[in-house]
Amino acid sequence: MSTGTPAEFDPYLTAIIANRVDGIVREMTHTLLRAARSAVINSARDFSCSICTGDNELLASAEGLPIHIFGSHMQTRAMADFHGADIREGDCYLHNDPYSGNTHAADHTFLVPVFFEGEHLFTTVAKAHQADIGNALPTTYSATARDQYEEGALIFPAVRVQRDYVTDENVVRMCRSRIRVPSQWYGDFLAGIGCARVGERRLKELCAKYGKERVKTFIRDWMDYSEQRMVQAIRKLPAATLTNSGAHDPFGTLLPEGIPLKVTVKIQPEAGMIDLDLTDNVDNVDCGFNESEACATSSTVAGVFNSIDSTVPRNSGSFRRIKVHLRDGAVAGRPKFPHSCSVATTNIADRLINIVQSSFAQIGDGWGLAEGGVGMGAGFAVISGKDDRSDDGAFVNQLIITGAGGPGAPAADGWPTYALPVVGGLMYRDSVEIDELKHPMRFHFLRILPGTGGAGRFRGAPAMELAYGPTKFAMDVLWPCDGTHFAPKGVRGGQDGTCARHFRVEVDGSETELPNIVNIRLEKGAYVRGNHTSGGGYGDPRQRDPRRVLKDVLEGYETETRARDLYGVVFTGLVEDETLDIDPAATTAARRALTS
C-alpha cells in the first residue's frame, strides 16, 4: 500500500510508529520495575524511562514521573559534549550530575547510544532513584548538606560504564566501595543497564523495519505533531499574565523564614506560547534544597501540563512552546557550583508545580488546580540499620508507603494516593507486609485522618497518618519534610490543606514533636507517628454538592461538625447505622447563614 512521500505528514504511519516507540518505552519500564532490587524502584516505581534522539531531543517519555520527564536530553547532550566522536555502539554511560542535566545525584541515569547503519540515531535513557548513593548521611535526600562536598555522593558526569557491551569493573568497584548495601546497588545497576539495552534492541528492530529515512521523517513529524498539539492546547487559554508565589518551610536557624518562591506565567494564545519566568527568586541556599536546572524546568513545565489538555505528548516538540527563564545562582534556577541539589526533585520542585498549577486558577472557574499536598514525611523516610534476621546485615531503603493528599480540581476531588506534586499519583506504594518483611520494623497504624482535606467545592484528599518503629536494633530514620509550616493552599474560595506534624514516641509513651527536617535514631520500643499534608480545596465549600458531603461523612473522610461548619450541610439520622441523610431545609438555611 502507499505510504505517502516522506516529505508530507502521514497521519497513519506517524501514528503507527509512535505506538511502537511508546511500546518500547513501556517495555523498558517493565524490565526495570521487575528486575530491580531496591524497593524504591521495584515497589514504588521511582524511575522513568525515555528515548532521546541522536541530536539530543526528548522523543518519548511514556509513564515517566513528571519531575523526571524534562532533562534527559540535557544528559544525552552532556554525553555528547564530554565524549564527542568517541561515542560508539556498545557504550553505556552513567550520569547523575545535577550540574550537567540530571535531576539530583540520587537518580542514577543509564544512557545507551543506539546506532543504526553506523549513525547514532537515538539514546535510550533509564533514570532510577537509588536506595543509596554513598552520601555522608544514610539518605538520598541530604537536606543539611552545605554543599556538594558535604553531601558526599559519588558523581558521574556521563561516565562510560560499558564499552563493546562489557562493563568497566573499575566503576563497579568504586561504587561497591562507597555505596551502602552494595549488592542491592549492583542489582539495580544491572537492571538499569538491562533496561536501556532492551530499548536499544527494540529501536534497532524499528529502524530495520521502517528504514533509516522513514524513521528520521517520523522523528521530525512526531516533534512537529506534538508541538501542534501544544499550540492547540494553548490557544484554548485566554491571554493572561499570572504571577503567583509561595514558599518552602523554614529550616532551623539557616532559613528561619523559609524559602520564598515566585513564578510569572505569561500565556500568549495568539503566538501559541507560554513563558515561565523564575528569575525573580532568591540566591542559592547553603543546604540541599537548591533546584537543578532539570528540576526547575521539569516542575514548572509539569505545572503547565497539569493545567491543559492532559493528552498532549511530553517531548521536545511540545516543550518548544514553553519558554522557561532561569537565573544563574538562584535557588529555583540554575545552581551555582558547588551548591547541593540533593533534595532538588521534591521540596522546592513540589512548591513550583503548585505555584504554576494554582496560578492557572486565577484565570477563572474551571481552570487550574488547587495546591497538592507537599512534603516527604514519615511515609517517605529513608530508614537504615542492622537486620537481626539476616546475620545483622545492613539495610537501607526509602519507604514509599503513603504520602500527601491530592489537590481539589475543577470537577474532581483530590486523590489519597497522590503522594507528591512531583509524582502526581504515578508511583506505586509499598505494602505494609513487604516493608515489614524486608526491614526489621513494625507499623502501628496507617490510615486516613478524617476531616483534614482542604474543604472546597471539590475538596483536597485528606491527610494520611501513620506510625512505625524498629523491632530489634536501633533504626536511623531521616526525612526532609515540607508543609509542616506552610500548608498547601486552596484556590477560588477553597480552603488550605492541613499541615504535616510528626512526633517521636519513647518507650514510656512520652512524645516530642519533631521539626520538619528529621534525622533521628529510634531504639526498640520507640516509634514515630505523624501525618502528611492534605490537598487544598478548589472552589467554595458551600457550593459542594451536599450528596458528596453526605458520602464523605458516611465514609469517614469528613466529620459531621465540619460538614455543618464548613460545608453548611446538615444531616438527619446516624452515621453508625447508615441512616444519615441530608436535611434539605436545614442545609439551605445553614448555607445561607454561612454566606452572610
Residue 93 per-residue DSSP state: E
* 299: contact with another protein by CB under 8 A: no
Q: For 55-78, what is the HEC assignment?
A: CCCEEECCCCCHHHHCCHHHHHHH
Cell of 336: 551555582
Residue type, 501: R
- The CB density around residue 445, as the number of other CB atoms within 10 Å, is 10
d(CA 296, CA 253): 25
- Work out whether 34 is an interface residue with another protein (CB under 8 A): yes
Minimum distance, C-beta of residue 452 to another protein, in the bound complex (Å): 14
5, 310, 595, 596: which one contacts another protein (CB under 8 A)?
310
The DSSP result for 541-590, as a single string, is: GGGS-HHHHHHHHHTTSS-HHHHHHTT---EES-TTTT--EE-HHHHHHH
Order of strands across the sheet that contains 92-95? 58-60, 47-53, 119-129, 107-116, 92-95, 159-163, 166-167
Name the grid cell of 385. 540499620
Residues 223-262 that bind another protein (CB under 8 A): 225-226, 228-229, 232
Among 16, 166, 271, 589, binds another protein (CB under 8 A): 16
Which residue in the set 171, 172, 254, 446 belongs to the binding site for another protein (CB under 8 A)? 446
Residue with Cβ nearer another protein (30 or 212): 30
138 versus 335: smaller Cβ distance to another protein: 138
Q: Establish if 66 lies at the interface with another protein (CB under 8 A).
A: yes
Total number of residues that touch another protein (CB under 8 A): 92
d(CA 224, CA 218): 10
By the 10 Å C-beta count (0-12 exposed, 13-18 middle, 19+ buried), 214 is classed as middle
Please give the backbone phi and psi of residue 117, each rounded to the nearest 5 degrees, phi first: 50, 45
Q: What is the C-alpha to C-alpha distance for residues 357 and 259, in angstroms, rounded to an integer?
A: 19
Contact 66, 233 (CB under 8 A): no
Cell numbers of 365, please? 472557574
What whole-number distance in Å separates Cα of residue 576 and Cα of residue 248?
A: 41
The CB-of-429 to another protein minimum distance in angstroms stands at 4
Binding of another protein at residue 594 (CB under 8 A)? no
Exactly one of 108, 160, 321, 429 binds another protein (CB under 8 A); which one? 429
Write down the least CB distance from residue 86 to another protein, Å: 26
Binding segment for another protein (CB under 8 A), chosen from 154-162, 278-286, 299-307, 518-526, is: 299-307
89 vs 436 by CB, closer to another protein: 436
Nearer to another protein, 464 or 528 (CB): 464
Out of 9, 82, 473, 503, name the contact with another protein by CB under 8 A: 9
Q: From residue 378 to residue 417, what is the string marking binding to another protein with x (rule CB under 8 A)?
A: ------------------------x---xx-x-xxxxxxx
Extract the C-alpha cell encoding 356: 504554576
| Among residues 302, 331, 355, 569, the one that binds another protein under rule CB under 8 A | 302
CA distances for 302 relative to 145, 177, 297, 308, 423, angstroms: 27, 37, 8, 10, 10
CA 47 – CA 368 distance, rounded (Å): 27
Residue 519 near another protein by CB under 8 A: no
C-beta closer to another protein: residue 437 or 474 = 437
Q: How many Cα atoms occupy the beta-carbon half-sphere of 108 within 13 Å?
A: 31
Cell numbers found for residue 542 = 458551600
Q: Please list every residue from 550 through 579 that binds another protein, using CB under 8 A.
A: 554-557, 575, 577-578
433 binds another protein (CB under 8 A): yes
* Gap between the Cα atoms of 18 and 14, Å rounded: 6
- Judged by CB under 8 A, the residue of 255, 287, 352, 369 near another protein is 369
**Rounded least distance, CB 64 to another protein, Å:** 9
Q: How far is the CB of 75 from another protein (least distance, A)?
A: 21
Which residues does 41 contact at the CB level (< 8 Å), separation at least 6? Answer: 32, 33, 47, 128, 129, 131, 188, 191
* Dihedral (CA of 314, 316, 318, 321) sign: positive
Among 18, 58, 404, 522, binds another protein (CB under 8 A): 18
- Asked whether 343 and 103 are in contact (CB, 8 A), the reply is no
**Which of the stretches 59-67, 172-180, 520-528, 588-596 binds another protein when contact is defined by CB under 8 A?**
59-67
Q: Nearest approach, Cβ of 17 to another protein (angstroms)? A: 10
**Considering the rule CB under 8 A, would residue 419 count as an interface residue with another protein?**
yes
Site for another protein contains 199 (CB under 8 A): no
Q: How far is the CB of 39 from another protein (least distance, A)?
A: 7
Instruction: Output the nine-digit C-alpha cell for 405.
Output: 493528599
If you count them, how many residues does the chain have? 596
7 binds another protein (CB under 8 A): no
> CB of 361: closest distance to another protein in angstroms?
12
Grid cell of 10 as nine digits = 502521514
* Nearer CB in complex with another protein: 53/402: 402
Our finding on whether 447 is near another protein (CB under 8 A) is yes
Q: Are strands 159-163 and 92-95 parallel, antiparallel or unpaired?
A: antiparallel
The verdict on 324 binding another protein (CB under 8 A) reads no
Beta bridge partners of 447: 465
Among 171, 176, 194, 493, binds another protein (CB under 8 A): 194
- Choosing from 171, 254, 426, 582, the residue that interacts with another protein (CB under 8 A) is 426
Q: Between residues 119 and 581, which has the closer beta carbon with respect to another protein?
A: 581
112 lines the binding site for another protein (CB under 8 A) = no
Strands (E), 136-282: 159-163, 166-167, 240-248, 259-268, 273-277
Pairing of strands 119-129, 107-116: antiparallel
Query: Of residues 21, 39, 179, 242, which one binds another protein by CB under 8 A?
Result: 39
CB of 319 to another protein, least distance (A): 14
Question: By rule CB under 8 A, what string of x and - marks binding of each residue 168-187 to another protein?
Answer: ---------------xx--x
Site residues for another protein, window 346-365 (CB under 8 A)?
A: none
Closest separation between CB of residue 436 and another protein, Å? 5
Binding test (CB under 8 A) with another protein, winner from 164, 238, 256, 311 = 311
What span, in angstroms and rounded, lies between the C-alpha atoms of 262 and 373?
Answer: 18
Under the binding rule (CB under 8 A), the answer on residue 167 touching another protein is: no
